[in-house]
Amino acid sequence: MTGLLDGKVVVLSGVGPGLGRSLGEQAALMGADLVLASRTEKRLQKMAGVVEEHGRRALVVPTDITDEDARRHLVDAALEEFGRVDVLLNNAFGIPPMDPLTQIPLDALRLAQESNVYAPLRLSALFADALAATPDKPGGAIVMINSAVLYQSQPEFAGYKLSKGALAHLASSLATELGPRGIRVNSVAPSYIYEDVNKAYFDWIASESGRTHEEVYAEKAAPTDLKRLATPEEVARAALFLGSDLASAVTGTVLNVDCGEFHD
């Protein structure tokens, strides 16, 4: 995968543990320079160090993506530092309470919509001019990090599914709207990712149910064709493929990264 993003500038929102960290590191390994946006500066600085260890440049921009002024500052800072943007990875997200949908307070649902739908919309709109094709460069790409929760109907995920369903429709509409400007818009939809947060979650399930971690893992992996769960690196590489020139004719699609759990 080395060189897949040579010379490109990637903006990454959401630099938390797990997938966010893997997106940043894998992009650097593929040759990209990065603009890193998240609320926590300490986490951003740590991610920047990883990027720089791989010989790439990293710009740290502490950002609350739900704030319009902060979003505009992110765009200005990225263009001032690099003069261009080629890929926008909308990875930051929030999870509302895992209660039945009829019991979740509206304020909690609105908060999830702000981070999971409206923030990606506004970031995509604000970066559109930089991503658009010009006589000097091809158009760029927007990748929405969605979720296989789209295909599930479990009460505890209903609030999250509400926002991720809206994000899927947003990506489809933006692909149509921005396509004439040479901008591609796609999504990836991972199922359970075997990373630190889910590992701890599996430990909790195991302790509550009197089972081992390995038994819980096997249960979660059982619905997949490959009988395993994707790693954050695997999901990151799929997302970055959509941002690369290898996917230059791909737009308006959702790529499931779930080891074969759900089929179209």
Instruction: Give me the active site residues, please.
Output: 160
DSSP 125-137: HHHHHHHS-BTTB
**Type of residue numbered 178:** L
Which residue matches tokens 């889910």?
198
| Amino acid identity, position 32 | A
End-to-end CA distance of the chain: 27
Q: Which residues contact 83 (CB under 8 A, 6 or more apart)?
A: none
Burial 140-150 (b: 16+ CB within 10 A, else e): bbbbbbbbbbb
Lay out the sheet containing 254-257: strands in order across: 58-62, 33-38, 9-13, 87-90, 141-145, 184-190, 254-257
Token pair recorded at residue 186: 């796609």
Q: How many helices (H) and strands (E) does the chain have?
A: 9, 7
Torsion 138-139-142-143 (CA) sign: negative
Burial 209-227 (b: 16+ CB within 10 A, else e): eeeeeeebbeebbeebeee
